[in-house]
Amino acid sequence: MNNLISLIAFQNRMAKGLPLGQCDEPTVRRLWWAALETLQEDILGPMELKKGLWLAAPLPALYEPKLLDRFKGWVWAPDQLESLQFSKTGFLLPSRTSTNPKKKPTERASYIRFPLLEMDGSDPFLMIITPELQVALALQGQSGKRKFLIRSDQETISDLLEMLDQRLKYEAGDLAAGLREELAALGQLQSSESLEKVFWPLLSERLAYLAPTLAIQTFSESTTSEKHLFENSGEISLLEALTHEIRTPLATIRTLIRSLLKRNNFNPIVINRLKQIDAVCTEQIDRFGLIFNAAELQRENSNTSNLASTDLGRMLEILHQGWSEQLEHRGIKVILDITPDLPKVLSDPQRLELMLGGLIDRNTRGLKSGGIVVLELRPAGQRLKLQILNQLTNDDVKPSDEVKPDSALGPVLSWNPGTGSLQLSKAATQRLLASLGGRLTHRRDSGMTVFFPISEVKN
């Protein structure tokens, strides 16, 4: 396998001549998802391209139906995704063909799949080649020094295509020849070196719309070795794919909705409907982001986290308005009851914000219109006690996960038969809270209690 060029080599070539990155994992993943949307929706979409090629790893990063219909694709993906295929609309569909356990190229409806090898790592990579535009995107760098890469200069693209040709010669010689023919059929390629001047302002604008929420968090910072990452990437890769397929269109819809809300020529009914759509999108994006964080923690097999002094009471007051607006369209009210002058706790503020939203979501899914959820924050010795209590209406029932047991879908996910919703398992919820300094206990009547250590007594 010494003659086989790894996909890591592709990313290293793209990083040649550029400074080291300074991003953590959540930040660089945020850049990646926003970059995919910017490239496909803001740049490639309006160009009305007729033909082209795309290559990606470790998942099919191209999702725009118009591009999938016109472009031919090659994807290096984990074997765990062999039983799945992506339709031309960009969504996951069950495979109707039998899987081949051997590591051979597999042809799908919109791309040819190659096995992702351990030496390839797990960082994403996407290259698009058309007569009018050539561009490569990737993530690269060690933990804490991550960076997002975009290259469209002729020298880099030429080197990447040469490396790709060598890789395909080793994996499948006939396909290497086919790729060369496809490239020749595209005709004379035009230099795309000015692309980055257009790309970065558009990406900045998109990120500005998404900035007020932590909704697109995906990974927590990981120190897992590449081997361990690869061996346990089945569920993580699948969750990442599902998260992308669900979150990307929702994030796009939310961006468009917020741009419409800046206009003042709509009547109140339309504005109210737009706000409802925004709330639903945010709720679902955050929920799947939380599921992915829990899956990542499960893969790391560690409960350690960098905890800091956190004003939990102030955080609840800030988040209260957003939760109220999200639940208002379901007729559910959120009430805060916080003891004044409480000390700070030890936690991770950014991840805790998303976690608290997940707890609210979990405790309100069984409530009907007219229900009330009460958040009480009280001192409890050397801890603060956060109670989330449900006040049920007369015709309501207790939360469905107290009436019917959840159906486990692995160590991270469970299916609630009462509400028909996918959610974190109780074990995954407890573990994720433990990594944030909290200890979770479930109430037998309705709701849950979480204890957080006071920061002054860390030792």
336: confidence class by pLDDT, cuts 50, 70, 90: very high
Cβ atoms of 307 and 230 closer than 8 Å? no
pLDDT at 404: 53
Distance CA 182, CA 447 (A): 59
Count how many domains the chain has.
2
Closest CA to 221 of 23, 429, 431: 23
Residue range 180-191: average pLDDT? 81
Q: Which of 206, 223, 239 is the last residue of a domain?
A: 206
Biggest alpha carbon–alpha carbon distance for the chain: 74
* Residue 449 and residue 328 in one domain: yes
92 lies in some domain? yes
Beta bridge partners of 374: 335, 389
Q: Does some domain include residue 218?
A: no
User: Last residue of some domain: 173, 206, 239?
Assistant: 206
DSSP character for 80? Answer: G
Band of pLDDT at residue 13, cut at 50, 70 and 90: very high
Q: How far is CA 67 from the centre of its chain?
A: 22
In a domain, 220, yes or no: no
Does the residue 229 lie in any domain?
no
Strand partners, 85: 93
**pLDDT tens per residue, range 66-122:** 888 889 888 888 876 554 443 333 333 232 222 333 344 544 446 788 888 889 988
Does the pLDDT at position 29 exceed 60? yes
Q: How confident is the model at residue 283 (pLDDT cuts 50, 70, 90)?
A: confident
**Rounded (5°) CA angle 55-16-155:** 65
The reply to whether 190 and 311 lie within a common domain is no
Residue positions counted in the chain: 459
Domain match, 333 and 449 both: yes
Residue 89 included in any domain:
yes
| Domain boundary residue, one of 180, 206, 232 | 206
Single out the residue of 326, 291, 313, 320 nearest to residue 432, CA to CA.
Answer: 291
Taking 50 as the threshold, does the pLDDT of residue 403 lie above it? no
394 assigned to some structural domain = yes
pLDDT: which is higher, 108 or 60: 60
To the question of pTM greater than 0.75 for the whole model, the response is no
Average per-residue pLDDT for the chain: 77
Residue pair 48/73 in contact by the 8 Å Cβ criterion: no
User: Exposure pattern of 419-454 as b/e (b: 16+ CB <10 Å)?
Assistant: bebebbbbebbbbbbebbbbebeeeeebbbbbbbbb
pLDDT computed for residue 46 by the predictor? 86
Q: In this structure, are 192 and 314 located in the same domain?
A: no
Q: Is 347 helix (H, G, I), strand (E, B) or coil?
A: strand
- CATH code at position 410: 3.30.565.10
pLDDT in tens, 250-261: 877 887 788 788
pLDDT tens sequence across 370-401 = 889 999 999 998 899 999 988 765 555 444 44
Same domain, 195 and 330: no
Q: Give domain status of residue 440, yes or no.
A: yes
Q: Is residue 349 part of a domain?
A: yes
> Do 45 and 188 belong together in one domain?
yes
**What is the extent of the structural domain holding 88?**
7-206
pLDDT for residue 353 is more than 80: yes
